[in-house]
Amino acid sequence: MANKKEKNAINLIPKSEFESSTLGRILSWLLTTFRYIVIATEMVVMLAFFSRMWLDAKNADLADEIRQKQAVLSATSDFETIFKNNQQKLSLLHDLFAMEGTKSHIFESVVASTPEDIVLSAYSDSDSGIAITGDSPTEMSIAQFLVNLKAIKAVTSVNLTQIKIDQDSSLLSFSISLGAEGK
């Protein structure tokens, strides 16, 4: 037993009276706890700093991707507009070809009798007759078109209602009215 007392009696770090008091133990506990809080706070700040760098890189990548997609959309917007216009024209042509009887036959005959250098810009069908407008580079093509229209059996009358020169393209713009059977 004497050995145990001697081992316990040697204490290289003596306790002061303040450390053994209640206030000393509370203060020691607070200092230790605050050290852990400071270390945890530093870890959170470092994590926030590194995540901010990652988020900034991600944000820059997304901004570049958005700019690229906007460029693709703006490049294809003209094509989309043209495509929608052509789709609408095809829908109108489909409706014209879907008509029964002489209307469809007359339209097919007008298209077939159009000379190659004439571009038809409008075709309207009403109770009073059929109106056709178009552009031609020469008077001879318009005259040939009128002769071709008179040769269609379902057409009863052909009248050239207007002809004028387009100053910008130097083409002749014309309008023709047709009388047809059943009109």
Say whether both 27 and 43 belong to one domain: yes
CATH of the domain at 152: 3.30.70.2830
Secondary element (H or E) of residue 68: helix 22-98
Please identify, among 98, 125, 145, the residue that sits at the C-terminal boundary of a domain: 98
Phi, psi of 74 (to 5 degrees): -70, -30
* Span 47-90, pLDDT tens digits: 999 999 999 999 999 999 999 999 999 888 888 889 998 898 88
What is the CA 182 to chain-centroid distance, rounded?
Answer: 47
Closest CA to 180 of 161, 144, 152, 160: 152
Q: Is residue 118 over pLDDT 80?
A: yes
Say whether both 169 and 130 belong to one domain: yes
> Residue 15: its pLDDT value, please?
66
Question: What is the token pair recorded at 119?
Answer: 């571009």
The number of domains in the chain is 2
Whether the predicted model's global pTM rises above the 0.75 cut: no
* Span 151-175, pLDDT tens digits: 888 888 899 999 998 888 788 999 9
Say whether both 87 and 148 belong to one domain: no
Question: What integer is the mean pLDDT of 96-100?
Answer: 61
Is 21 among the domain residues? yes
The confidence band for 106, taking pLDDT boundaries of 50, 70 and 90, is confident
- Burial readout 155-173 (b: 16 or more C-beta within 10 A, e: otherwise): beebeeeeeeeeeeeebbe
Q: Is residue 96 over pLDDT 80?
A: no
Is 7 among the domain residues? no
Please identify, among 98, 125, 160, the residue that sits at the C-terminal boundary of a domain: 98
Say whether both 74 and 118 belong to one domain: no
User: What domain range is 173 assigned to?
Assistant: 100-180
Query: Cβ contacts of residue 169 below 8 Å, gap of 6+?
Result: 135
Say whether both 37 and 86 belong to one domain: yes
